Amino acid sequence: MKIHLHQRDLPDDLSFAGVEAVAVDSETMGLLPIRDRLCLVQLSAGDGVCHLVQVAPGQTEAPNLKRLMEDPKIVKLFHYARFDIAVLRHGLGIETTPLYCTKIVSKLVRTYTDRHGLKDLCRELLGVDMSKQQQSSDWGAETLTEAQLAYAASDVLHLHELRVKLNAMLDRIGRRKLAEDAFAFLPSRAELDLLGWGEQDIFSH
């Protein structure tokens, strides 16, 4: 995969026109969107090229990234979208839409297992063994290492192919509409997380 690192935002002359879907991931200082700052956003159109946007401390806007993430004609592919869209909303004021989450689909179709991580999906459906060595590294560092950049890029490398495999499984068991309804609810789920209902099921008795 070819990797391009950008500072603060996507370049003005970078276009995703004509692209049906863009794979997206993020790296943060921790796992609480309201506490841990957004450090990096990774994107790939499934063409073997990854664009990384390094977010500066205190940065609250990225207009070009926002325009892409809110483009209604381009599907944004995530693995565990709930976290990423909450981080993007809290850190950069981005309302991500439309979206697709491979973790949600995995839970709807792979009911024979409780292993729904990206590494697990890639191993089973694509025969790819991903390395997670850099997962817990310091993403807030001013200069990211080559190993960090490669790891970040790998998280969006396989999402397009996974989507194809998972959609076939959804259609086989008739749960495509259910998945789409779950995707539509995700922005509200992310808002609940940011407002403090992260650990509560508001639908329970």
pLDDT digits (tens, 9 = 90+) for 8-28: 999 999 999 999 999 999 999
The pLDDT confidence band at residue 178, using thresholds 50, 70 and 90, is: very high
Reduce the DSSP state of residue 62 to 3 states and report it: coil
Query: Is the backbone peptide bond immediately before 57 cis, with ω within 30 degrees of 0?
Result: no
Q: Give the pLDDT confidence of 84-141 residue by residue, as tens digits.
A: 999 999 999 999 999 999 999 999 999 999 999 999 999 999 999 987 666 778 999 9
d(CA 109, CA 98): 21
Q: What is the mean pLDDT of residues 164-191?
A: 98
Q: Which helix (H) or strand (E) holds 44?
A: strand 38-44
Task: Indicate left, alpha or beta for 19 from its phi (over 0: left) and psi (-120 to 50: alpha).
Answer: beta
pLDDT value, residue 131: 77
Q: Which helix (H) or strand (E) holds 26?
A: strand 21-28
pLDDT value, residue 82: 98
Q: Give the pLDDT confidence of 35-87 residue by residue, as tens digits.
A: 999 999 999 999 999 999 999 999 999 999 999 999 999 999 999 999 999 99
Q: Give the pLDDT confidence of 142-173 residue by residue, as tens digits.
A: 999 999 999 999 999 999 999 999 999 999 99
pLDDT value, residue 136: 76
pLDDT value, residue 134: 67
Strands (E), 55-149: 75-78, 99-101
Domains, the chain, ordered by start? 2-197 (3.30.420.10)
**Beta-carbon contacts of residue 29 (< 8 Å; ≥ 6 apart):** 36, 37, 39, 139, 140
